[in-house]
Amino acid sequence: MEKGKATETVTRSLQKLDLNPNSNSKSIGKITPTLHSSKLLLEKAKPPSLISLCLGVIGKHFEDIIEDLEEIAANFPADIKMAMAAIARRRKLLNDNVIIALAESSWEILDLSGSDVSDFGLSKVAEMCKFIQAVDISRCSKITWLGVSELVQHCRSLEILRCGGCPKSDYTARRCLGILRPKLDDMEGESWEELDAMEIAHGAPSLCWLVWPKIDKDSLEILSTECPRIVVNPKPSPLGYRGVEVPREALANVVLDDSIVKEVDPKTWAISGFAARATSSVLSSTELPVAEKFRLAFVERDTRLAPKRAKNARQHQRRAEREWVMTSARAKANALASQANKSLHNRS
C-alpha cells in the first residue's frame, strides 16, 4: 500500500513539474498564430511575377496606347486583356473603344462599373462574348435599357447581373424589369420553377442573382412575385439560398474583377486614383471649396486661351494698319516708298 501511494505521489509530482518554462498552456496557444504570421510574411515577401510587373507598367501608361490598343493587344491572351480592362476601369479610362478592342470571346465576367461604356460598347461586347456569366453595369450612366436588352439577347448564359448605384443606373434597372422577366411559351405547367431554360422564350433564361443595393419596394415586389427564380441582393450563408451556394460574384461587397488584378500592385499603375465602390457623401476635409475650384478653373482657362488672344490682337493690329494705309494718301505713299527702298536695297 505504501509503495502504491509513493508511486502515485511521484506521478503527480512529475505531472506538475514544468521542465520548459516557455511551454505552458498560454504559450502553446501563441505558437500557431506566430507560425501563421510568419507564413503570411513569407507570402507577402514573395516577389511579384514578371507578368504583373508588365501589367503595372502598361497600366501606368495606358492613356498613351489607347489609340493603337487594338493592334497592341491583338495577340494577348484573354486573361491579360481582361486584366488590362480592369486596370483601365480603375484609371477611369474604360470606354467603348477600349472595351471593344480588348473583348475576348472566352470571357465569362464583364465588369464595366463606373465606366464610360455606352449601349454601343455593351452590345458589341455582348455579340463577341456570348459565354458571359456575370456582368456589372452599376454606376454606368451611359448604359440604358437598350444595351441591357442586347446583353440579354446575346448572352444566354448570364447568371449574375449587378446594376444600380447612381440615379441613372437605378432608372435603367427599373426600365429593365420587363426585359429580365422571362416570358413563357407554355403556360400549362403548374410551376415555372420546374421549366427548363429552353422553354423560356424571351427575357434572361439563366439569370439567378440580381445585385441592386438600392432597389425600390415596387421593383422588389415585381421580381419576387413574377420572377421567383431571380434572387435579389443575396446574403452570404454557409447553407446557401434554397440549397444553392451563393456565388462570390453575387455578393454586394465583392468587386467583380478584383480577382483578376489581385497580383498586380496598384502602386505601379495608380495615377488618377480609384474611388472605392462604397462611396461616401461626406466631403473630405482636404477637398477644395467651390469658390477655389471656380478660381482655379478660370485661371486654367485664361492660361489656355492666352496664346489665342495674343494671336487675335496681332491680327487686329495688322488689319488696322492696312485700313489706315488705304484711307490715307500720305501713308500709302510712304508705304510704297518703303517697299521701293526695300526692293532697291535687295538688288544691290
Q: What is the pLDDT of residues 131-176, one digit of tens each?
A: 999 999 999 999 999 999 999 999 999 999 999 999 999 999 999 9
End-to-end CA distance of the chain: 144
Per-residue pLDDT for 116 more than 70?
Answer: yes
| Least confident piece of the model among 287-291, 318-322, 332-336 | 287-291
Per-residue pLDDT for 84 more than 90?
Answer: yes
Per-residue pLDDT for 77 more than 60?
Answer: yes
C-alpha–C-alpha distance, residues 285 and 303, integer Å: 28
The residue ranking higher by pLDDT, 271 or 226, is 226
Q: Where are the domains of the chain?
A: 50-182+201-260, 293-346
C-alpha–C-alpha distance, residues 285 and 236, integer Å: 35
Question: What pLDDT is recorded for position 120?
Answer: 95
Residue 318: Cβ within 10 Å count: 10
Could you give the angle at which helices 78-90 and 50-60 cross, rounded to 10 degrees? 40
Report, as an integer, the average pLDDT of 91-120: 95
Question: What pLDDT is recorded for position 48?
Answer: 79
* Position 86 confidence tier, pLDDT thresholds 50, 70, 90: very high
Q: Could you tell me if 206 and 178 are in contact, meaning their C-beta atoms sit under 8 angstroms apart?
A: no
Reported as type and span, the H/E element at residue 236 is none
Statement: the pTM of the whole predicted model exceeds 0.75: no
Per-residue pLDDT for 20 more than 60?
Answer: no
Reported as type and span, the H/E element at residue 100 is helix 96-102
C-alpha–C-alpha distance, residues 108 and 125, integer Å: 12
Which grid cell sits at 131?
459565354
* Position 315 confidence tier, pLDDT thresholds 50, 70, 90: confident
Question: What pLDDT is recorded for position 81?
Answer: 94
Quote the percentage of the chain above a pLDDT of 90. 37
Domain 50-182+201-260 grouped into CATH 1.10.3470: no
Looking at every residue in the chain, the average pLDDT score rounds to: 77
C-alpha–C-alpha distance, residues 210 and 212, integer Å: 6
C-alpha–C-alpha distance, residues 65 and 54, integer Å: 14
CA torsion angle 250 256 258 261 (round to 10): 140
Q: Could you tell me if 179 and 168 are in contact, meaning their C-beta atoms sit under 8 angstroms apart?
A: no
CA torsion angle 92 97 101 105 (round to 10): 90
Helix/strand/coil for 202: strand
CA torsion angle 244 246 250 251 (round to 10): 150
C-alpha–C-alpha distance, residues 313 and 304, integer Å: 16
Q: Find residue 162's DSSP bridge partners.
A: 136, 211
Burial (CB count <10 Å: 0-12, 13-18, 19+), residue 210: buried
Taken in order 280, 262, 96, 107, is the CA torsion positive or negative?
A: negative
Question: What pLDDT is recorded for position 80?
Answer: 93
Question: What pLDDT is recorded for position 138?
Answer: 95
The residue ranking higher by pLDDT, 41 or 242, is 242
Per-residue pLDDT for 129 more than 90?
Answer: yes
C-alpha–C-alpha distance, residues 78 and 235, integer Å: 31
Q: Find residue 209's DSSP bridge partners.
A: 160, 231
Comparing CA positions, the residue from 81, 179, 99, 84 lying closest to residue 140 is 99
Taken in order 92, 95, 99, 101, is the CA torsion positive or negative?
A: negative
Q: Could you tell me if 176 and 218 are in contact, meaning their C-beta atoms sit under 8 angstroms apart?
A: no
Which grid cell sits at 148?
441591357
The residue ranking higher by pLDDT, 90 or 186, is 90
